[in-house]
């Protein structure tokens, strides 16, 4: 048999097999099971319907109320309360209350809970974020989460793998968000349906962890089952000081079989903007010139990390948000919030007349903290721009990186950062 990819090896190990191949059905042991305030309540009700008196392993269940929290209304409060009581009843160690939490897919890597070689499921589609650290991580339904909490296992069809090689040198103002938006634009929102997406090449080798997390986060927007980078020095440096747990990195074989290999030279790439109504409707920022915007959101599990805030602050420093524009900035975790304060980034944002939120998914899914009215246009560093995603179905969402978002907030229309920094 030919060699195996990283994902095939991880699933084989989790299934107790020597090898697996694409299309195989396997039952695997799960290292982490994740739920939030929207998806966990459904799983909890299914779990309790089974009449169980304990979870499989309270160390391997993670609960993060982050979507409609701080509670936006009574219904959200009831959902959050259900999750809180479940965590108390079953001794869930990794329960993160507001004030101590963050947006789940930024929080778990930050806390050192995600390790190379792990199998992680989450009742949230952007669980694929953790592939940036060399894990197999994917979103599942709430009933699958309930089963994993009960028995510590989940089943999968082994995905085939598409390999994406990025060559050249990243131009100024282009980062991981642009790489993944461009990639999705090339293959479409179903181009990697139920495939593993392997991101590699010299550009990825130099890409910092925040950019890697952003790319893996949006694998689902191409239909991917997961997205990943194989562990390297960047991975190990990120994990240093975050965890004392042992881990065993997994690497694909040199003769691993990939369903398809695509190579992109990024040396002349512009920052990318995804136009409505889907993340694959991507264009160079120069083609978005003149599009006036009403709201800008910098945050989410895609781009709410410290490096994202630093990029935005570098542009906003000494400048003001356009009078017509609302700029909302959402640090992805409490730790990021505190570090941004320590570095003076919050002062820059407030002086620029931005609104700053506690960590929450908030406007990304049309939850709260920035709902759009009919006819309004938003530019966001979030991951989806479907019709009605952020509010009224006749509003529009454009996706971009944090530098483009900050520059456009100042200009009042979508612009290249160079136009503001000149």
Q: What is the pLDDT along the chain (422 residues), one digit of tens a residue?
A: 689 999 999 999 999 999 999 999 999 999 999 999 999 999 999 999 999 999 999 999 999 999 999 999 999 999 999 999 999 999 999 999 999 999 999 999 999 999 999 999 999 999 999 999 999 999 999 999 999 999 999 999 999 999 999 999 999 999 999 999 999 999 999 999 999 999 999 999 999 999 999 999 999 999 999 999 999 999 999 999 999 999 999 999 999 999 999 999 999 999 999 999 999 999 999 999 999 999 999 999 999 999 999 999 999 999 999 999 999 999 999 999 999 999 999 999 999 999 999 999 999 999 999 999 999 999 999 999 999 999 999 999 999 999 999 999 999 999 999 999 97
Sign of CA dihedral 349, 353, 359, 360: negative
Report cis status (omega within 30 of 0) of the bond before 70.
Answer: yes
Two structure tokens written together for 59: 């160390």
Distance set, CA 140 to CA 82, 137, 153 (Å): 20, 10, 12
d(CA 69, CA 87) in angstroms, rounded, equals 17
Note the pLDDT of residue 32.
98
Q: What is the residue whose two structure tokens read 């082994």?
A: 158
d(CA 197, CA 195) in angstroms, rounded, equals 6
Sign of CA dihedral 50, 52, 56, 60: positive
Nearest Cα to Cα of residue 15 among 154, 143, 120: 154
d(CA 200, CA 127) in angstroms, rounded, equals 20
C-alpha atoms less than 13 angstroms from C-alpha of 24 in its C-beta half-sphere: 16
Domains, the chain, in order of start with CATH, read 8-263 (3.30.499.10), 272-421 (3.30.499.10)
Q: What φ, ψ does residue 341 adopt, rounded to 5°?
A: -65, -45
d(CA 274, CA 401) in angstroms, rounded, equals 10
CB of 107 within 8 A of CB of 126? no
d(CA 182, CA 279) in angstroms, rounded, equals 9
Two structure tokens written together for 422: 């000149």
H-run or E-run covering 85: helix 74-90
Ordered alpha helix ranges (H), 92-225: 104-110, 142-151, 176-187, 202-206, 209-217
Q: What is the residue whose two structure tokens read 């909490």?
A: 149
For 198-229, give one letter per residue: b (16+ CB within 10 A) or e: bbbbebbeebebbbbbbbbbbbbbbbbbbbbb
d(CA 123, CA 142) in angstroms, rounded, equals 5
The conformational region for residue 240 under phi > 0 = left, psi -120 to 50 = alpha, else beta, is beta
Note the pLDDT of residue 1.
65
């Amino acid at each position: 048999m030919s060699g195996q990819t990283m994902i095939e090896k991880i699933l084989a190990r989790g299934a107790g097999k020597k090898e697996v191949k694409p299309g195989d059905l396997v039952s695997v042991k799960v290292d982490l099971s994740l739920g939030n305030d929207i998806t966990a309540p459904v799983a909890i009700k299914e779990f309790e319907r089974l009449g169980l008196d304990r979870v499989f392993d309270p160390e391997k269940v993670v609960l993060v109320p982050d979507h409609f929290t701080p509670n936006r209304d009574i219904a959200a409060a009831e959902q959050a309360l259900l999750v809180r009581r479940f965590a108390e009843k079953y001794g869930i160690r990794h329960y993160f209350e507001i004030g101590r939490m963050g947006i789940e897919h930024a929080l778990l890597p930050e806390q050192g809970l995600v390790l190379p070689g792990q199998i992680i499921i989450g009742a949230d589609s952007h669980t694929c974020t953790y592939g940036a650290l060399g894990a197999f991580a994917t979103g599942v339904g709430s009933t699958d989460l309930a089963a994993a909490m009960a028995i510590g296992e989940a089943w999968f069809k082994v995905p085939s793998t598409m390999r994406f090689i990025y060559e050249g040198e990243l131009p100024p103002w282009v980062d991981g968000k642009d790489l993944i938006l461009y990639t999705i634009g090339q293959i479409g929102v179903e181009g990697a349906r139920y495939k593993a997406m392997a991101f590699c090449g010299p550009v990825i080798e130099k890409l910092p962890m925040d950019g890697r997390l952003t790319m893996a986060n949006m694998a689902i927007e191409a239909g991917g089952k997961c997205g990943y980078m194989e562990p390297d020095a960047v991975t190990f440096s990120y994990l240093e000081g975050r965890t004392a747990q042992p881990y065993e990195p997994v690497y694909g074989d040199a003769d691993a079989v990939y369903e398809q290999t695509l190579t992109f030279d990024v040396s002349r790439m512009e920052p990318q903007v995804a136009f409505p109504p889907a993340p694959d409707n991507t264009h160079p920022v120069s083609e978005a010139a003149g599009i006036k915007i009403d709201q800008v959101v910098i945050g989410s599990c895609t781009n709410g990390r410290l490096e994202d805030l630093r990029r935005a602050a570098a542009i906003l420093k000494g400048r003001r948000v356009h009078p017509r524009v609302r700029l909302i900035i959402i640090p992805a975790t409490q730790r990021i919030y505190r570090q941004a304060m320590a570095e003076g980034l919050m002062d820059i944002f407030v002086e620029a007349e931005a609104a700053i939120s506690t960590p929450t998914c908030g406007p990304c899914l049309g939850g709260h903290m920035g709902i759009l009215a009919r006819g309004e246009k938003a530019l966001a560093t979030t991951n989806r721009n479907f019709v009605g995603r952020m509010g009224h179905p006749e509003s529009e969402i454009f996706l971009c990186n944090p530098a483009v978002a900050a520059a456009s907030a100042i200009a009042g229309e979508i612009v290249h950062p160079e136009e503001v920094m000149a």
